[in-house]
Amino acid sequence: MTAPITLPRGCRNRFYFVIIMPLNVDGHGPASEERGEVRKITWEVWDQEMTSHGSYDYLPDAIDEAERLNEEYHMTNTGVVE
């Protein structure tokens, strides 16, 4: 069994994070709420290099994926397995 990984505290210290993504009628985003374009809200996992790593209908699913990716990133880039 692998020991749990301790990630840096604070979302600003993590490579992957979740953003809200409002979509228009065609499923493209970000849509403008001010112009009445929003038809659906999704949650996306992005990284600090501004790359999207997936879109999710439910916030908990996006958070889980961001945490999984952050654990991989931490292990790969620090070489630390706690």
Q: What is the C-alpha radius of gyration for the chain, rounded to an integer number of angstroms? A: 15
The Cα–Cα gap between 12 and 78 comes to: 17
Ramachandran sector of residue 10 (left: φ over 0; alpha: ψ -120 to 50; beta: rest): left
Name the pTM for this structure: 0.80
In degrees, rounded to 5, the angle at the alpha carbon of residue 16 between the alpha carbons of residues 20 and 80 is: 160
The Cα–Cα gap between 34 and 53 comes to: 27
Q: What is the DSSP letter of 12?
A: G
**What does the block give as tokens for 42?**
């999704």
Residue 12: pLDDT band with limits 50, 70, 90 = confident
Convert the pLDDT of each residue in 18-56 to its tens digit.
Answer: 999 999 999 999 999 999 999 999 999 999 999 999 999
